[in-house]
């Protein structure tokens, strides 16, 4: 409201009071005239307040009635604000409709959850994949999806990794669930059908596993005959070298096949099958003994066992991971190098580390180390007897124990491989 309009109101009021005083002077009793004028002014204002109130409450969408003076402007201002709000509401409604249409067209199930994990919205696919119907609005999602893995996923709130789940509606449908937090405590749950991808992945894994298995028996026969031939003192001299080479290569093929079989066994299930407390101190002593047996390193493999904690998991898998790390430390350092095996824990969990003073790894190679058949120096590393599968096995074993692998290295100085197990996996 402009200042001039208010000035006019005051001037008009003063003029009316002036007229009342003048009339009072002419006809007598000026105070009655003034009171009369003021009462009239008050009644007029009250009438407009009443009209404004009724218009605001009852006549949504109608134009305001005409009024003179400042009341006319007040009505116009209210009308303008109402109009603005209505336009905004229309725009938001249109946007909401478009959002709903587009998410309904999505092939993925989408569910919006509030901070208490209650369903506030879902699309039609959510009914097909997750069995969440329209009437389930306001229900807590963990009462509808009761899979223990899902409940744990929701509780932990570590949504950087998706969760694999079978559809509660049809167990043949495999889903990957992602939860994306947004706003103030809201979450968007997306479930994608990955049945086809999972089937192809299974065919690929089965093929690698079956092929390795089929190769193992003939190779055992060939290795047996080669060992016999090597041991035969009457073989011609010209055969000695080729037979020795064949023995070495068949041993390499055997370790390749064993590693491939280990990997396909690890891939067959996503978490460690065994949940027994594994004595890490005992395992560390064992891998040290095996490392010393593999080469002349007496005293060069140090043990630092600073924790009494055990790990809940599968002993054979953990042995295989730790042995691969120690074996690499031996393989990629000079015989006079020092290797340190350490086990310690803190508030964040347990740490099993293997440190060497060997060749080191260039920084650019670090992100690719756990890829299958990745070797930093192809020819040289193969000649050392590596299969290129060791760290892939380590990664799989650690994943199955909710653990992670951290690698730091400096070229020419050595490397440090640390397996970090979460507190939840430790047993005192």
Rule CB under 6 A: choose which of 163, 387, 401, 421 binds ligand ADP.
Answer: 387
381 binds ligand ADP (CB under 6 A): yes
Query: How far is it, in rounded angstroms, from Cα 261 to Cα 268?
Result: 11
Rule CB under 6 A: choose which of 256, 322, 386, 400 binds ligand ADP.
Answer: 386
The strands making up 163-166's β-sheet, listed across from edge to edge, are: 119-122, 109-113, 186-193, 174-182, 163-166
The stretches of 29-68 forming alpha helices (DSSP H) are: 30-58
332 binds ligand ADP (CB under 6 A): yes
328 binds ligand ADP (CB under 6 A): yes
Q: Least separation, in Å, of the C-beta of 341 and ligand ADP?
A: 12
Compare residues 48 and 297 and give the one whose CB is closer to ligand ADP.
Answer: 297
Q: Which segment (89-97, 164-172, 226-234, 387-395) binds ligand ADP by CB under 6 A?
A: 387-395
Query: How far is it, in rounded angstroms, from Cα 239 to Cα 75?
Result: 110
Q: Which segment (73-81, 128-136, 241-249, 381-389) binds ligand ADP by CB under 6 A?
A: 381-389
Is residue 240 helix, strand or coil?
A: helix
Mind giving me the DSSP string for 327-359? HHHHHTS-TT--EEEEEEEETTEEEEEEEE-SS
Contact 406, 274 (CB under 8 A): no
Rule CB under 6 A: choose which of 190, 329, 398, 403 binds ligand ADP.
Answer: 329
Rule CB under 6 A: choose which of 272, 300, 391, 398 binds ligand ADP.
Answer: 391
Rule CB under 6 A: choose which of 111, 323, 390, 421 binds ligand ADP.
Answer: 390
Rule CB under 6 A: choose which of 193, 310, 415, 421 binds ligand ADP.
Answer: 415
Q: Within 10 Å of residue 390's Cβ, how many Cβ atoms?
A: 22
* Eight-class DSSP state of 66: P
326 binds ligand ADP (CB under 6 A): no
Ranges within 347-366 binding ligand ADP (CB under 6 A): 356, 358-359, 361
Site size toward ligand ADP (CB under 6 A) is: 22
Beta partners for 354? 341, 417
Say which residue the tokens 């990955």 belong to: 194
Ranges within 58-77 binding ligand ADP (CB under 6 A): none
Query: At CA 298, angle to CA 295 and CA 304, rounded to 5?
Result: 110
287 binds ligand ADP (CB under 6 A): no
Q: Which of 281, 295, 400 is nearest to 356 (CA)?
A: 295
Compare residues 189 and 389 and give the one whose CB is closer to ligand ADP.
Answer: 389
Positions that interact with ligand ADP (CB under 6 A): 324, 328-329, 332, 356, 358-359, 361, 369, 374-377, 381, 386-392, 415
């Amino acid at each position: 409201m402009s200042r001039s309009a208010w000035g006019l109101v005051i001037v008009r009021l003063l003029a009316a009071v002036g007229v009342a005083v003048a009339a009072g002077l002419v006809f007598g009793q000026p105070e009655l005239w003034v009171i009369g004028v003021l009462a009239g002014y008050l009644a007029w204002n009250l009438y407009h307040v009443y009209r404004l109130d009724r218009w605001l409450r009852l006549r949504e969408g109608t134009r305001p009635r005409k009024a003179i003076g400042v009341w006319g402007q007040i009505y116009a201002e209210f009308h303008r604000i109402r109009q603005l709000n209505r336009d905004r509401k229309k725009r938001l409604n249109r946007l909401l409709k478009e959002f709903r249409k587009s998410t309904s067209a999505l092939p993925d199930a989408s569910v919006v959850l509030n901070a208490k994990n209650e369903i506030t919205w879902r699309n039609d696919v959510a009914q097909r994949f997750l069995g969440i119907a329209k009437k389930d609005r306001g229900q807590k999602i963990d009462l509808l999806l009761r899979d223990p893995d899902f409940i744990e996923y929701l509780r932990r709130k570590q949504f950087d990794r998706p969760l694999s789940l079978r559809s509660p509606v049809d167990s043949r449908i495999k889903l990957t669930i992602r939860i994306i937090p947004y706003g103030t405590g809201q979450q968007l749950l997306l479930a994608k059908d990955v049945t086809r991808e999972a089937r192809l992945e299974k065919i690929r894994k089965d093929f690698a596993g079956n092929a390795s298995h089929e190769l193992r028996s003939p190779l055992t026969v060939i290795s047996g005959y080669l060992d016999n031939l090597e041991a035969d003192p009457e073989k011609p001299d010209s055969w000695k070298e080729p037979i020795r080479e064949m023995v070495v290569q068949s041993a390499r093929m055997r370790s390749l096949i064993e590693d491939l079989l280990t990997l396909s066994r690890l891939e067959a299930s996503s978490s460690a099958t065994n949940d027994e407390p594994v004595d890490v101190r005992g395992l560390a002593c064992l891998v040290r003994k095996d490392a010393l047996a593999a080469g002349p390193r007496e005293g060069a493999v140090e043990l630092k066992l600073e924790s009494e904690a055990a790990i809940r998991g599968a002993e054979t898998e953990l042995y295989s991971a730790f042995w691969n790390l120690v074996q690499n430390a031996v393989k990629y350092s000079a015989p006079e190098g020092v290797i340190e095996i350490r086990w310690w824990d803190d508030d964040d969990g347990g740490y099993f580390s293997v440190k060497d003073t060997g060749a080191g790894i260039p920084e650019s190679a670090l992100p690719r180390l756990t890829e299958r058949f990745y070797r930093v120096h192809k020819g040289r590393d193969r000649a050392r007897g590596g299969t290129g599968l060791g760290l892939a096995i380590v990664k799989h074993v650690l994943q199955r124990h909710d653990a992670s692998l951290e690698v730091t290295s400096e070229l020419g100085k050595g490397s440090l491989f640390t397996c970090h197990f979460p507190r939840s996996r430790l047993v005192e």
